[in-house]
C-alpha cells in the first residue's frame, strides 16, 4: 500500500507498507530514486502530513512525531 502523498520541494513523500509496516518513503520524479525515510518495525507510521516548513508530522504508537526530511531524523 502506498498512501498519503505529500509534495515537499521537488520530492514526493508518502507512507508505504512495502517493508511490512507503514514507513515514510521519498520518491524523486526526476531521477526515479526511491528512499526509505523512517525505519519503524513495531508500529505503523500513520496519518503523515507535511507542514509549511517542509517537516512531516505523523502518529506512531499513539504519539505524534515530527520527521525532518533534510536530516532524516525524528523527534
Supply the pLDDT for residue 23.
Answer: 98
Supply the pLDDT for residue 13.
Answer: 98
- Look-up: residue for cell 508500529? 43
Rounded Cα distance between 61 and 40, Å, is 10
Inter-residue contact 67 to 74 (CB < 8 Å): yes
Supply the pLDDT for residue 42.
Answer: 96
Question: Full-prediction pTM beyond 0.75?
Answer: yes
Supply the pLDDT for residue 28.
Answer: 98
pLDDT, tens digit, for every residue of 25-57? 999 999 999 999 999 999 999 999 999 999 999
What are the two backbone dihedrals, phi and then psi, of residue 37, each rounded to the nearest 5 degrees? -95, -40
Burial 33-53 (b: 16+ CB within 10 A, else e): eeeebbebeeebbeebebeee
Supply the pLDDT for residue 63.
Answer: 97
Amino acid at each position: 500500500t502506498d498512501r498519503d502523498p505529500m509534495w515537499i520541494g521537488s520530492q514526493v513523500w508518502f507512507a508505504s507498507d512495502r517493508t511490512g509496516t507503514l514507513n515514510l518513503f521519498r520518491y524523486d520524479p526526476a531521477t526515479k530514486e526511491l528512499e526509505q525515510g523512517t525505519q519503524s518495525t513495531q508500529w505503523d507510521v500513520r496519518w503523515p502530513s507535511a507542514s509549511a516548513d517542509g517537516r512531516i508530522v505523523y502518529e506512531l504508537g499513539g504519539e505524534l512525531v515530527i520527521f525532518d526530511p533534510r536530516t532524516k531524523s525524528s523527534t
